[in-house]
Amino acid sequence: MPAARQIILIVEDEPPIAETMVYALQTEGFAALWKTTGREALAVLAEQEIALVVLDVGLPDINGFDLCREIRRQRKVPVIFLTARSGEVDRVVGLELGGDDYMTKPFSPRELTARVRAVLRRSNGEGEAAPVSAVWRHDEARCRISYRARPLDLTRNEYRLLRTLLAQPGRVFSRDQLMEAAWEDPGAALDRTVDAHIKLLRAKLRAVAPGADPLVTHRGLGYSLREES
Ligand code: CA
């Protein structure tokens, strides 16, 4: 007997978008349920074992963020937000409200199924990443760090550097301390090496959230991770 299919709940009021999603998910072996309002979605969640919710931010009866908050009150189910505007505000607010990922319309069916699989994998405990804060996750076993729900593609030194800063948000680390923590042969590295890696890290973080800049430069002292980031 094949394993029971996981049910994905789609909450979206635009039929063409919803129909495309239902088709894509079914093709990939999921069961897909489609609801057009928050009220109907909550009724489904109260009765059925839902593996993941794909949630449009702009619904006729309730704001998607409020609905997400309501869903979270009831059960622990991963949520992927759909947003029509590419504005940063939507993304940031969405993730602060506990979404696991987001997609900006238009998106391809392939992108949807890839995201759904990735979020399910994460939430099923494979690669259980400890939430360090609202926006940071650190999976120590796999040496992976996620920022605003996006896994970062880091070199070994970038990873070690960020891991060090992440361990104590707000603490100012000198370049020597960072070098000691992140480089295998710190004696051979130069102060400038730390600066260069911070610069690369910043570029990667900016690619996720352009305005946020969570790495703070303390002139003449070193670097810290912004406490509220
Ligand atoms: Ca909508």
pLDDT of res. 123: 77
Measure 55 CA to ligand 1 centroid, in angstroms. Answer: 9
Note the pLDDT of residue 128.
47
- Of 74, 76, 109, 103, nearest to 91 by C-alpha is 103
Indicate the pTM of the whole model: 0.55
Burial of residue 6 (CB within 10 Å: 0-12, 13-18, 19+) is middle
User: What is the C-alpha to C-alpha distance for residues 10 and 32, in angstroms, rounded to an integer?
Assistant: 7
Q: What is the pLDDT of residue 1?
A: 39
Q: 229: CA distance to ligand 1 center in Å?
A: 30
The CATH number assigned to the domain holding 134 equals: 1.10.10.10
Q: How far is the CA of 200 from the centre of ligand 1 (A)?
A: 37
Q: Work out the mean pLDDT of the chain and round it to a whole number.
A: 84
Do 118 and 153 lie in one domain? The reply is no
Residues 181 and 210 in one domain: yes
**Do 57 and 113 have their domain in common?**
yes
CA-based nearest residue to 11, from 68, 94, 69: 68
Output the CA angle 158-162-167, nearest 5 degrees: 150
Going from the Cα of 202 to the center of ligand 1, the distance in angstroms, rounded, reads 34
Interstrand relation of 144-147 and 150-151 (parallel, antiparallel or unpaired): antiparallel
**One domain, residues 100 and 188:** no
Distance 41 CA to ligand 1 centre (A): 14
Q: How far does residue 170's CA lie from ligand 1's centre (Å)? A: 39
**Residue 138 domain boundaries:** 130-225
Number of folded domains that form the chain: 2
One-letter amino acid of 166: L
Task: Check whether residue 29 and residue 72 sit in a common domain.
Answer: yes
Q: What is the pLDDT of residues 4-51, one digit of tens each?
A: 688 999 999 999 999 999 999 999 999 999 999 999 999 998 888 888
Distance between Cα 83 and ligand 1 center (Å): 8
Residues of the chain with pLDDT under 70: 1-4, 86-98, 125-134, 186, 188-189, 191, 228-229
% of the chain surpassing 70 pLDDT: 85
As beta bridge partners, residue 81 has: 55, 102
Q: What is the pLDDT of residue 11?
A: 97
Q: Which of 96, 123, 150 is the last residue of a domain?
A: 123
Residues 10 and 102 in one domain: yes
- Ligand 1 centroid – CA 94 distance (Å): 15
| CA 76 – ligand 1 centroid, Å | 24
The Å distance, Cα 11 to ligand 1 centre, comes to 9
Q: How far is the CA of 57 from the centre of ligand 1 (A)?
A: 7
Instruction: Judge if 173 and 77 occupy the same domain.
Output: no
Please tell me whether residues 180 and 215 are part of one structural domain.
yes
Alpha carbons 9 and 68: distance in angstroms, whole number: 13
Last residue of a domain, one of 71, 88, 123: 123
| Cα distance between residue 119 and residue 101, in whole Å | 7
State the Cα angle at 87 between 39 and 77, rounded to 5°: 40
Tell me, what amino acid is at 36? T
Ligand 1 centroid vs 27 CA: distance in angstroms?
A: 24
CA 47 to chain centre: 27
Residue 73 and residue 9 share a domain: yes
pLDDT of 81 reads 87
Query: Same domain for 26 and 83?
Result: yes
The answer to whether 165 and 229 have CB atoms below 8 angstroms apart is no
Given 104, 123, 142, the domain boundary residue is 123
Phi, psi for 47 (deg, rounded to 5): -115, -25
CATH number at residue 48: 3.40.50.2300
pLDDT of residue 138: 83
The structure tokens 């999976």 sit at: 139
Whether residues 96 and 147 fall in one domain: no
119 and 135 part of one domain? no
